[in-house]
Amino acid sequence: MTTEDTPAIRTESLTKSFGDVKALDGITLEVHKGELFGLVGPDGAGKSTLMRLLAAVMEPTSGNAWVASHPIGKGAERIKEKIAYMPQRFGLYEDLTVMENMVFYADIFDVPKAERAARMDRLLGFSGLVPFTGRLAGQLSGGMKQKLGLTCALIHTPEILFLDEPTNGVDPVSRRDFWKILYELLKEGTTIFVSTSYLDEAERCTEVGLIYEGRLLEKDTPAAIKARHAMPMIEVWCDNAHETVGTIKDDERVTGIGLYGDRLHIGLKERGDIEAVIGTLSDRGCATGGYREIAPSIEDVFFTMIGARGAGRDPG
């Protein structure tokens, strides 16, 4: 295998236990250089644990992993030179200004003095923080804090960027802006490993890993995952959607149900079952406001895979 063919990230049967709790259960995956890989799953699925292992801030119980060709155990210090890791609670100093935070992280990463001004100017323009360099970090909005955290993480120009749920709790506009920045980094060849509980964000990644209860259920492109789990699906508007889930979830014609506010996404074994299932809903008290056929999203596929009928969440 040549250096160019070597994956940016590789794991083999990676496992992590905390006492009797197995947070990760035999994770094997590869992430190629220049890829935007999304690790997608609900809270408690093992996303943060995997990211901490790959960032070499925690040791596995068993299994192996290599990041930038270095093993996560013996090569931890070399790994830290090649990566940037932005945990959910990134260590910004709220009593320092935007610029002072950037200078602080430039010091931590030993960025040469001669290169700092150019790097900071580029990163500030990149993230839209130029007008806020003198503002205290504690006075920034949630979305701006995330951008500042990303800017500080990038100050030493890492090869691989680890982002642990960077858009969690961020407003939709800031989420969109944050992903725009990630796409620009991707164009420059940065390998990005991002975790998220927002399954709609999986559609924005070049490859996706679906994780649940510490196990990797699928890893592929979003299109390939959806194609592999293709199924007839209808979206039903229902005045009492939450109550209706329980009346239909055990129907043998139904493969899965996702709840989206006043809408249900119902997966079916056969397209010919649509009218019958709509009739059953009506008979069981669902005041339907109409329905339409839709193509399943990654979110719909995930709910079906884990058997989370009726456990859907409003997409963020």
pLDDT for the residue 169: 83
> What would the two tokens of residue 42 be?
């609900």
**3-class secondary structure for 79-136?**
HHHHEEEECCCCCCCCCCEHHHHHHHHHHHCCCCHHHHHHHHHHHHHHHCCHHHCCCE
- Residues 179-191 have pLDDT tens digits of 999 999 999 999 9
pLDDT for the residue 307: 66
Q: Which amino acid appears at position 187 of this protein?
A: K
- Report how many helices (DSSP H) and strands (DSSP E) the chain contains, helices first: 10, 14
Task: Give the residues across from 52 on adjacent strands.
Answer: none
Q: What share of the chain is helix, strand, coil (3-state, %, to 5)?
A: 35, 30, 35
Domains of the chain (ranges, CATH numbers): 9-226 (3.40.50.300), 229-305 (3.30.70.100)
pLDDT for the residue 4: 60
Q: Which residues of the chain have pLDDT under 50?
A: 1-2, 308-316
pLDDT for the residue 107: 95
CA atoms within 13 A on the CB side of 292: 3
- Which residue is it, tokens 């999304």? 38
Name the pTM for this structure. 0.87
pLDDT for the residue 287: 66
Query: What CA–CA distance (Å, rounded) separates 311 from 316?
Result: 15
- Contact status, residue 142 vs residue 174, Cβ threshold 8 Å: yes
pLDDT for the residue 242: 80
